[in-house]
Amino acid sequence: MGGGEIPVSNPPPLASHLPDSVLELAVQIEKKPLPDDVRDSLKSFQRAACYIAAAMIFLRDNVLLESDLQLDHVKPRLLGHWGTCPGLILVWSHLNLLIRNHDLDMIYVIGPGHGAPAALAALWLEGSLERFYPGEYDCDADGLRNLITRFSVPGGFPSHINAETPGSIHEGGELGYALAVSFGAVMDNPDLIVTCVVGDGEAESGPTATAWHAIKYLDPKESGAVLPILHVNGFKISERTIFGCMDDKEIVCLFSGYGYQVRIVEDLPNIDDDLSNALEWAVAEIKHIQQAARSGTPLIKPRWPMIVLRTPKGWGGPKKVDGKIIEGSFHSHQVPLPKANSDEPHLKELNNWLSSYHINELIKGGKPSESILRILPEDNGKKLGQLKATYDPYVSLKGVEWKDFTVEKGTDQSCMKVTGEFLDGVFQANPTTIRLFSPDELESNKLDAILNHTQRNFQWDEYSRANGGRVIEVLSEHDCQGFMQGYTLTGRTALFPSYESFLGIVHTMMVQYSKFVKIAREVKWRGDLASINYIETSTWARQEHNGFSHQNPSFIGAVLNLKAEAARVYLPPDANCFLSTVDHCLRSKNYANLIIGSKQPTAVYLSADEAEEHCRLGASIWHFASSQDPTGSAPSTPDPDVVMVGIGVEVTFEVIKAAELLRTLCPALRIRVINVTDLMILFAESKHPHALSKDRFIELFTADKLVLFNYHGYPTELQGLLFGRERMDRMSVNGYSEEGSTTTPFDMMLRNGVSRFDVAERALEGGAQGNAEVKRQLAKNLEEVREKVKGVRRFIAEHGKDPDDIYDMAKF
């Protein structure tokens, strides 16, 4: 049996079996009618914005209906999403009034970002487009014509909200992230309220499901508030929504259990009175919760307000087209009249629909009427499109000298432990402008020194509530990423440390964020932002308690795929280099920084000054591990047989140990050892700002000698970076090759072909191609290396651990 059309508009949910008494949990407030002039102004704004939003989807001429529409007035390609627009505009109009009445600092985050026509229409009416695009989208006839005719065509605004949209702090394409971003934005912004509309389709996503719990991490003493509005219009693209099929009892029980007070707004004939009363109640509740916390008597588990707004999808649009229900149906999701540019009945329906708004009463001489302007905030800086926190918010961190935290060269130190102590200092110096978001891994990742002078911030835990903690640990990578985005987009700096294998969970979130920042860098009126900073540890190379599932370095590739202007990947070889890199990243702007290091103690090769210079260069020859120049005129041989390159902590250690082994085993083999700490220098010249010049690349890697890369990530990533460099045929890459288990660290090196023995074999075989003495000894030396491998494997099998001396620092 095939699927049939739903026969009614805006169908109600089936009744649940919950007792009616649970509706006592729903907030009941006195419905006070709005003054007539205020209600009229709200309606005027809504009608004008809905007209403009619809016209943006359809019209390329006759934008104010000065005559009946003709087919050639309609765009050849009809792009956009109408269904969510009426609800978004309804909320926008009321937020104007709320800001005006209470002098609020407010950001409007729109989860259904495909509703760009709604936002752009409202921004034109309030004058924000004119503020940021003078001469292009002015509040006059030409500006309105430009807005309508250029929408979703080259050179105009795109169909989704993005960084070109004034007031936006959220890329509106991929659904699910709006709520977490909103909570990140209000942290340490005590006077800010973010109203976040979550579409009922978006509400089905995993990231949104976890983000509802963010109220449990919001300290009302130090932070602002998020007012979530779950917009239940009942349909996704072609199916009913889960929340649209939940009755009021089910919705109230769900969100009451999450910790909210729920007010349902669904009185369609009196929707403005109903929504206005709900918003006034919500602001009063927010202020009550905040005042209690700020007066020293914080409420325990405060129940924050939220609104559930039930309105029909595509409200006010065509009722039926070609016998199909449009308003209150999924058919209104995108373009409700898809043949309006070729079909006369569709064109007539479009004409009737747009005429119903009586735009000539609302836009006179190309300007919004006084009725519309009356409800706008009087202070331009308070308008939803012009709050400074949304476009020029950056606050730099007070510097802390990283060299004060460096460790002694020649010792074994954990990159994470040392960095934790440095970050403790950074957090003390910047008590309200930096936060760390972690998925319950701070102790495991050995960054717990951060907690020496701060605490975790979990408001539902009696032991970590109301103490100003800088650390939020929640076992949702989506929440951590969303919080970081919101916090960064409103001007502050954040860190996201994680197990290496699970950063991939936020791959597409990171990509969406980077798209937003890319466009923001091209928009002249947006200011700088701090970089987003990932610390990746508990890597595949040292999974002490876990196995194959925890061995996945693929997030490197995700960052490498970003635009060169944004992507930065660092693999510092030791604790001092890691400190230098973290310091650099915290001061950087507009990048996605990925820093990969070990939480286990590993060798420290460089002093503080040496580490600083090495990180500045991005790569350097490590003369101490390279074959010496027999003439003594250079720190190491200027004419190596092979170049051995380590990229990553553990695999660099293996390169150094291979050099130690080869110096004894085959002193005739001339070796150059290089460490790369900034992965981006390997890009072909001109493909990345950090890419080495051709001359510098040859200076390091020679022009014609074999280059053996021992790489932390997947080999294909590095091969892609090197593509375009001359003589790639002489370069070989070993890296993680999807071999793993719960086993010893050195066995992981062996399994993936990156151990010292693998490096030594490659070097011997490569060196034999041009060095007669190495060739003469090759068979004997290879056999000796392979016997060493057998011996280590036997020891691991017998004792269940690596040999005790396997991680002794190399001696030259």
CA distance 182 to 116: 18
User: How long a stretch of residues is the chain?
Assistant: 812
For 94-108, write each residue's pLDDT tens digit: 999 999 999 999 999
Mean pLDDT of the region 536-541: 84
CA distance 503 to 368: 48
For 711-724, write each residue's pLDDT tens digit: 999 999 999 999 98
Look up residue 39 and give its two tokens.
């209600």
- Measured CA to CA in angstroms, residue 319 lies from 302, 471, 631 at distances of 43, 51, 90
The dihedral of CA 643, 649, 651, 652: what is its sign? positive
Is the pLDDT at 297 greater than 70, yes or no?
Answer: yes
Which residue shows structure tokens 């006010």?
Answer: 316
Residue 274 parent element (H or E): helix 271-294
Is the pLDDT at 1 greater than 60, yes or no?
Answer: no
CA distance 346 to 453: 66
Average pLDDT, the chain: 95
Which residue shows structure tokens 């990533």?
Answer: 717
CA distance 227 to 91: 12
Residue 640: burial class (beta carbons within 10 Å; 0-12, 13-18, 19+): buried
- Measured CA to CA in angstroms, residue 169 lies from 482, 494, 812 at distances of 11, 16, 54
Task: Estimate to the nearest angstrom the gap between the alpha carbon of 384 and the chain centroid.
Answer: 23
The dihedral of CA 186, 190, 196, 202: what is its sign? positive
Look up residue 382 and give its two tokens.
């308070």
Q: Counting runs of H as helices and runs of E as strands, what totals does the chain give?
A: 25, 22
Mean pLDDT of the region 385-407: 97
For 501-538, write each residue's pLDDT tens digit: 889 999 999 999 999 999 999 999 999 999 999 999 88
The dihedral of CA 188, 189, 195, 199: what is its sign? negative
CA distance 52 to 580: 52
User: Residues with Cβ < 8 Å from 710, sequence gap 6 or more?
Assistant: 644, 645, 646, 647, 648, 651, 652, 654, 655, 734, 735, 754, 759
For 649-695, write each residue's pLDDT tens digit: 999 999 999 999 999 999 999 999 999 999 999 998 888 999 999 99
For 580-602, write each residue's pLDDT tens digit: 999 999 999 999 999 999 999 99
Half-sphere exposure of 737 (CA within 13 A, CB side): 12
- Higher-scoring residue by pLDDT: 332, 104: 104
* pLDDT for 2: 58
Which string of b and e fits 484-522 if b means at least 16 CB within 10 Å? bbbbbbbbbbbbbbbbbbbbbbbbbbbbbbbbbbbbbbe
For 725-739, write each residue's pLDDT tens digit: 989 899 999 999 988
CA distance 406 to 446: 16
Is the pLDDT at 285 greater than 90, yes or no?
Answer: yes
Q: Rounded to 5 degrees, what are φ and ψ at 695?
A: -65, -45
Q: How far apart are the first and last CA of the chain?
A: 78
Look up residue 460 and give its two tokens.
């539902």
For 29-60, write each residue's pLDDT tens digit: 998 999 999 999 999 999 999 999 999 999 99
DSSP letter at 662 equals H
User: Residues with Cβ < 8 Å from 715, sequence gap 6 or more?
Assistant: 733, 734, 735, 736, 737
Query: Residue 677: which of 698, 648, 717, 713 has the closest Cα?
Result: 648
Task: Tell me the angle at which helices 85-102 and 116-126 cross, rounded to the nearest 10 degrees.
Answer: 40
Residue 537: burial class (beta carbons within 10 Å; 0-12, 13-18, 19+): buried
Is the pLDDT at 635 greater than 90, yes or no?
Answer: no
What percentage of the chain exceeds 70 in pLDDT?
99
* pLDDT for 238: 87
Residue 288: burial class (beta carbons within 10 Å; 0-12, 13-18, 19+): middle
Neighbours of 6 (CB within 10 A): 17
Range scoring the smallest mean pLDDT among 374-383, 535-544, 618-627: 535-544
* pLDDT for 346: 96
* pLDDT for 440: 82
Largest CA distance in the chain: 99
Looking at 414-476, list the stretches that DSSP marks H as alpha helix, in order from N- to C-terminal side.
415-429
Q: Label the pairing between strands 412-413 and 434-438.
A: unpaired
Query: Residue 317: which of 334, 294, 305 has the closest Cα?
Result: 334
CA distance 176 to 481: 12
